[in-house]
Structure formats: structure tokens, C-alpha cells
Amino acid sequence: MNERFLRELAARSLAALLGTVAVSYGLEMTSAAAPSFGKNIQLDNGRVVSAEEIQKGNLGNVYVNMETGVAVNRLEGPYLVIDKPEGKNYKVSLEDLYMERSLKISILGLEDRSFSREGLYTGSKNDSCLKKAGLVYDYEPDSSSYTAVYEAVLDRVYAYQVYEDEKAIYIELWEPSELYSRILVVDAGHGGNDIGTYSLDMKYYEKDINLNIVKYLKKLLDKERIKVYYTRLEDEKIYLNPRIDLANELKADLFVSVHCNSSDTAEARGCEVLYGTKNQKNLAFSSKDLAEICLNAMVKGSNLPNRGLVKGNDIYIIGKAKIPAALVETGFLTNEKDLEYLIEEKNQKEMAEYIYQGIMEAFSKQEENY
Ligand SMILES: [Zn+2]
């Protein structure tokens, strides 16, 4: 097995996970590929060696990937280093707070508070990737153990690979597009005190319907080999800039923002999809292509009227997109029939399914164009 393949493999198993969900590495993992200090270790050229052989130092530096259990001789920079008591193994858990450009690194099952704030540093010459770091300890009374929780504020969004050797834990920082072949940003419109539009009786808010649809969408996307970043999965206020900035910074393959519509005339109803034409010149697959596919999928599935595509360069989110971005308007909360459709859980699930189909088709079409 080559190194690149193993990286992909490790990345893939992370792909379904979200920023707010911790990813665990280390001793308690049950998979055959559990990290293997103290056991035989497979090198990236396929050779299996014993821990003693590694300790003798004949093989040079050996870093074991804490997820795949495979060792490499060299780390790709930039990376973070966390010093640990020599020879000890720990369970490590990562929480990617990508909206904050920060990473929480938890080291679990400690007997004492032997990790220090200074123990976290950058292992590469260019240390501008780490802007700020902190350390707090949690105490677990049940197991009378400590968890060291580092928070590292980084200069941008990264994807991660975790390695260890005898002396330290290493977190490689990757450009996400180098680790993941499909990157998607899903944006549930509005949130928190920004309720979006609402039904005429004020009983239903757009922000809630958007979020429900996105949560159903997530269930479908979790099964796919796609790295998905969600701008929110809770009822929280997020400004417009960070939503599209995330997608642009990630160089996401696709960005889909989910909304409901409104109008002064109660008759207005149906699906429409907005797209921008700025910053699209170099894209073989454009925002308009994505918008078209999403609209067709939504209309075909839901039987809601087709209001067509809307060019919307002055709509902030899509006007600023440098990647293919579509803002889907699922229906009108100000129209009785659309509202009836959109508030039903069954239909929210269906709408998620259609958007999902659109996304999958868009990925295929986009890849054909490469
Ligand atoms: Zn909206």
C-alpha cells in the first residue's frame, strides 16, 4: 500500500464527520489498523517491523499514523507537535472547529497533568500556521483520569492527519483539497436572531425549515465519500461573509445554500435557484450549471412549480462565490400550498433527497468536465 493511498483512506473515514464531532485516534480503537507502538508496525512500503527494531533507530525516524497504523519516515509540513512522556501511548481526539479556524486536540486517559501549554508548537520552519494556543484540563471522576484539551487557533482551514512516535504526537496540516477529492459546503440559510422569512401567521420561520432540510441532507451525505463542511447545524446566527469565505478558502467543489422564499403576493409559489456569474470565468463547471441541476432535481421530485433560474450577482453569498455556488429557494412560506408542503417533515426529507440527488449529479458532471 502506498502512502498516498493510506492518506486517502484515513481522510475518507473522516470525510463523513463534522466539525462539531470529535474524531478519535489511538489506543481504544478497535480496528485492525489501530496504532501500534509496542507492537509490530507496518511501514509504508509494506514491510512489517517490530517495535524493538524501530527503537534501535536503524530505520530512521518512524512516525505511525494513529488512524491507519502505518508508519512513514517523513512528515509533510506544516505540522503541529505535542510533546509527550517518552514511550507512552495515548488516545487522541480531534474536533475541527473550522468556522473558527481552530482545532481542539484532546489527549485522554492521563494519570496526571503532565502535558503543558509549551508542549504544543509547530514542527516546521514556517510557524505562522499556529496563531494562538491554549490548554485546559478536564477531570473524569469515573476513571480518575485527566484529559488535556489543547485549542490551537490556526491561520486557515486545514485537513488533518495524526501521527505519533516515541516522543510526541504530530498533527499534519493539509490543504483540504489535497486530502479530499470531493469537497462540499452546505449552508442552512439564516439562524439565531436572523429568522429569515416566515409564514403569514408567524408560526413558521425559514431558519428552522432550512436547518431541518440540511439535517436530512446530512444523513444522506454521511454515506458518501464526500468531505462536507456545514456552516451551521444548530440554530445559531452566522453572518454572510463567513459562509462564502469558508467555501472560497476551501476551494470547495460545490457550495449549496438552502432557503425558503417569500413574496408580497400570496399567489407566488414554487422553486427557484439563484446563481452568480462573477468570478466564474475559469470554471469548467459553473454556478449556473450547478443551479440548473439542483432546480431540475427539486422540481422533478416535489412537483412544486418551476420558477426557473435567477441570476443574482447582488445576492452577497452567490455574488462573491469563486466556486460553483447555488442558492436554492425550496418554496414560498407566504403561499398557502407551498407552506403546507414545506412544514411537513416527510416533505422536508424529500426536499433534502432532491437536493442530494442534484449534488451527486453535479459532482459527476463536474468530474466529466475535468
Ligand atoms: Zn433565506
Give pLDDT, residue 35: 41
Q: 272 CA to middle of ligand 1, Å? A: 12
Q: 328 CA to middle of ligand 1, Å? A: 9
Q: 370 CA to middle of ligand 1, Å? A: 32
CA atoms of 21 and 13, how far apart (whole Å): 13
Q: 274 CA to middle of ligand 1, Å? A: 11
Peptide bond into 305 cis (omega under 30): no
CA atoms of 348 and 130, how far apart (whole Å): 41
Q: 110 CA to middle of ligand 1, Å? A: 47
Q: 21 CA to middle of ligand 1, Å? A: 27
Q: Cβ atoms within 10 A of the Cβ of 32, count? A: 6
CA atoms of 48 and 71, how far apart (whole Å): 10
Give pLDDT, residue 25: 63
Q: Which three cell numbers stand for residue 123?
A: 514542527
Q: 27 CA to middle of ligand 1, Å? A: 45
Q: 140 CA to middle of ligand 1, Å? A: 43
| Sheet with strand 227-230: strands edge to edge | 227-230, 183-188, 254-261, 325-332, 271-275, 306-311
Per-residue pLDDT for the chain (370 aa), expressed as one digit of tens each? 344 444 554 554 443 333 334 566 654 433 333 344 446 677 777 777 776 676 666 677 889 888 888 888 889 889 999 999 988 888 999 999 999 999 999 999 999 999 999 999 998 776 789 999 999 999 999 999 999 999 999 999 999 999 998 899 999 999 999 999 999 999 999 999 999 999 999 999 999 999 999 999 999 999 999 999 999 999 999 999 999 999 999 999 999 999 999 999 999 999 999 999 999 988 999 999 999 999 999 999 999 999 999 999 999 999 999 999 999 999 999 999 999 999 999 999 999 999 999 999 999 999 997 7
Q: 292 CA to middle of ligand 1, Å? A: 19
Q: Which three cell numbers stand for residue 181?
A: 477529492
Q: 321 CA to middle of ligand 1, Å? A: 17
Q: Tell me which architecture the domain covering 181-368 has in CATH.
A: 3-Layer(aba) Sandwich (3.40)
Strands 102-110 vs 145-154: parallel, antiparallel or unpaired = antiparallel
The structural domains of the chain, with segments of one domain joined by +, span: 3-176, 181-368
Q: 197 CA to middle of ligand 1, Å? A: 6
Q: 258 CA to middle of ligand 1, Å? A: 8
Q: 257 CA to middle of ligand 1, Å? A: 9
Q: 239 CA to middle of ligand 1, Å? A: 13
Q: 227 CA to middle of ligand 1, Å? A: 24
Q: Give yes or no for a contact between 327 and 288, defined as CB atoms under 8 angstroms apart.
A: no
Give pLDDT, residue 30: 35
